[in-house]
Structure 1
Amino acid sequence: MEPTTVWFTLIAVLWTGYFVLEGFDFGVGVLLPVLAPRRRALDGGGNTEVDRRLMINSIGPVWDGNEVWLLVAGGATFAAFPEWYATLFSGFYLPLLVILLALIVRGVAFEYRGKVDGARWRRNWDRAIFWGSLIPAFLWGVAFANIVRGVPLDAEHHYTGTLFTLLNPYALLGGLTTLAVFTLHGAVFLALKTDGEIRWRARGLLTRLCAPVAVVAAGFLAFTQIEHGKPMTWVTAGAAAAALLGGLAAALRGREGWAFTGTAVAIALTVATLFGDLWPNVMPSSTADAFSLTVHNAASTDYTLKVMTWVAVLFTPVVLVYQGWTYWVFRRRLTREIIAPVETGSGAEAAR
């Protein structure tokens, strides 16, 4: 197998890992005000602040590790396909900058939320977690839909469109799909990871999300395959749809483990479909096919790719084992009882 093919495949794997793992992180952040709203607790007597801390703690040990997949994917793209990296980050500069800022604010919110004992302080950081999760979940779909669809490039591979060029109907559908699927993925994760009231709220929400998420995801996959599909990717697209439906069926039956497996496999197969439709291009040009970036004209030298391959072979298993160990250590369900009550100067804080 050619080094360019190897690294195109590895970059696809890295993005798959990022979307599967960070996807439920984003979903939990989006669901924070939905499953633990700042009003009287839904069960009539619980503490909403405790519920929010429970939701945040469910992803607390892993969210930063999940973002490593994004860093490695970006670094691998820069090293293996520098022309792709340059065109992508120049043409998609504003959306990617917004994603970066949202991720920074979200990370700061996780760390600073508990630094001050005040309802307003925590409320502002909760908003940061919500928007810092929703914005990337939506914009990643917009970005990848545009990459598959193709963008205007000139003969020097410079992006010649505007921001509004990226906000086309297909790309917006892609953004809505990633947001919807990640939110569903997060609800399944909460049903799997927690016990008690939050678990039952998440399961109740799943029953309402199943139909609209299935419709949006099916519409995006069908549109993608009709416009850009290849014979092989029809198989992965069909398998992705089947995995999503299987996950939804398991969720409705209360089988959270199988439901999470179904949504994770659906996300992975969808990424495989998008990269399969993209191959051998890495950035198609809607101006002229001759202006497209491919795995050949966008790649580094063979020597660079071979050295990178050996580095990946040596260090990737170490990273995978460490991250797998982290998930194993923090595998137990979380309940309200493990969250210490929030104290204020006048006693326990009332739910808001």
Structure 2
Amino acid sequence: MQLTDVWFILIAVLWTGYFVLEGFDFGVGVLLRVLGRDDTDRRVMINTIGPLWDGNEVWLIVAGGATFAAFPEWYASLFSGFYLALLLVLVALIGRGVAFEYRGKGDTARWRSTWDTVIVVCSVVPALLWGVAFANIVGGVPLDADHEFVGSLLTLLHPYALLGGVTTLLLFTLHGAVFLSLKTDGDIRVRARALAVRLGVGAVPVAAVFLAWTWLDHEGPVALALALVAALALVGGLLATTAGREGWAFTLTAATIVAATAFLFTSLYPFVLPSTIDPAFGLTTTNAASTPYTLTIMTWVAAVMTPVVLCYQAWTYWVFRRRISRSHIPTPAPTHEAPVGEHA
């Protein structure tokens, strides 16, 4: 196996980790006003992801940095062709972080309600656009002989890409609802579980259509196996949620995202960005890669630092593993909320 293949796999792993971990973050944000009947409920929901959301975004930063260093041609073509979409994602991620921090800085219901709306919108946008982006990456975009994107924003908004966006939005929202049922207690836990069942009923057929459409365009036994694993895990997660097995439900929705992301990268290989104009114009793991020397240095750095990062993040999840309920939120609420990440 060549280093270019190793780094393609590592980038796939980084995106998988990001979608699994940030996926439930997005889901919690999307559901903030749906499950949060009052300010106390919403504070409970925010506190479930308070210690985790910023650490989860590290996976995105590392994935972007690894793509830039290992496959600079891929990075350049992505950011030139997907510039507006990625800018919207970046603005949403910034707005979401600001909203988490500023929500508790005001004393009025209107202030908190405004930032709640920001959290919802800035969770929906990336959850939707990541699916649109990856559907375009797998399906291909118009690249010319110089590997330059020659389309427009509307070029990226075709039915397959929009279906990909709806699929990720539903999967992440379902993942977030299951996470809330696992991390909360009391009435909000019951409502989160019931909502997860309804979301699962909608997510299963949509995801099935997207997986089938993708496989028909990129046939292969490994891809088919991964698609079946993703579908079975999603159905299993729905059944586990219905049975009240929250730990299994979360594990299976996470497995769904892992298998689906692996399916997309498997369908993509050996390309990293196919061209719809001419397959010869597409970017592959070979013609988009950095020099062997650069990849060798990156491999040694990754071998040393990756275990450290994984251990630290695992420790964080272990420390903040307990359930949160309304009893952890003082009533009446203090003038300023506890900082995000602390159980008030």
Match of 1:19 in 2: 19
Match of 1:118 in 2: 108
Contact 1:54/1:336, CA 8 A, preserved across alignment: yes
Deviations, residues 173-213 of structure 1 (Å, cap 9, x unaligned): 00000000000000000000000011011011122222111
Residues 1-352 of structure 1: pairs in structure 2 closer than 5 A: 1-37=1-37, 48-343=38-333
With structure 2 as the length reference, what TM-score do the two structures score?
Answer: 0.96
Cα distance in 2 between the residues matched to 1:326 and 1:344: 27
- How far is the alpha carbon of 1:229 from its aligned partner? 2.8
Cα distance in 1 between the residues matched to 2:198 and 2:226: 27
Write the letter of the residue equivalent to 1:4.
T
Contact 1:49/1:342, CA 8 A, preserved across alignment: no
Cα distance in 2 between the residues matched to 1:300 and 1:160: 24
Write the letter of the residue equivalent to 1:145.
A
Mean Cα displacement is larger for which, 210-219 or 173-182?
Answer: 210-219
Q: What residue ranges of structure 2 are gaps of 5+ in the alignment?
A: 336-344
Cα distance in 2 between the residues matched to 1:342 and 1:93: 46
Cα distance in 2 between the residues matched to 1:209 and 1:29: 15
Deviations, residues 75-121 of structure 1 (Å, cap 9, x unaligned): 00000000000000000000000000000000000011001111111
Contact 1:142/1:175, CA 8 A, preserved across alignment: yes
Q: Specify whether residues 136 and 342 from structure 1 end up closer, same or farther in structure 2 by C-alpha distance, changes over 3 A only.
A: farther
* Secondary structure of 1:259 counterpart: helix
Cα distance in 2 between the residues matched to 1:95 and 1:86: 14
With structure 1 as the length reference, what TM-score do the two structures score?
Answer: 0.94
Match of 1:349 in 2: none
* Secondary structure of 1:333 counterpart: coil
Query: Which segments of structure 1 move beyond 3 Å, counting only runs of 4 or more?
Result: 342-345
Write the letter of the residue equivalent to 1:125.
W
Q: Specify whether residues 199 and 161 from structure 1 end up closer, same or farther in structure 2 by C-alpha distance, changes over 3 A only.
A: same
Cα distance in 2 between the residues matched to 1:230 and 1:85: 26
Contact 1:26/1:182, CA 8 A, preserved across alignment: yes
- How far is the alpha carbon of 1:148 from its aligned partner? 0.3
Match of 1:40 in 2: none
Cα distance in 1 between the residues matched to 2:43 and 2:134: 33
Write the letter of the residue equivalent to 1:144.
F
Cα distance in 1 between the residues matched to 2:213 and 2:67: 27
Mean Cα displacement is larger for which, 205-214 or 27-36?
Answer: 205-214
Contact 1:50/1:342, CA 8 A, preserved across alignment: no
Count of aligned positions: 335
Match of 2:338 in 1: none
Write the letter of the residue equivalent to 1:3.
L
- How far is the alpha carbon of 1:343 from its aligned partner? 4.1
Contact 1:185/1:260, CA 8 A, preserved across alignment: yes
* Secondary structure of 2:31 counterpart: helix
- How far is the alpha carbon of 1:36 from its aligned partner? 1.4
Tell me how large the CA RMSD over aligned residues is.
0.9
Deviations, residues 161-181 of structure 1 (Å, cap 9, x unaligned): 111010000000000000000
Match of 1:348 in 2: none
Write the letter of the residue equivalent to 1:210.
G
Match of 1:44 in 2: none
- How far is the alpha carbon of 1:22 from its aligned partner? 0.2
Q: What residue ranges of structure 1 are gaps of 5+ in the alignment?
A: 38-47, 346-352
- How far is the alpha carbon of 1:341 from its aligned partner? 2.0
* Secondary structure of 1:296 counterpart: coil
Cα distance in 2 between the residues matched to 1:117 and 1:309: 50
Cα distance in 1 between the residues matched to 2:174 and 2:310: 25
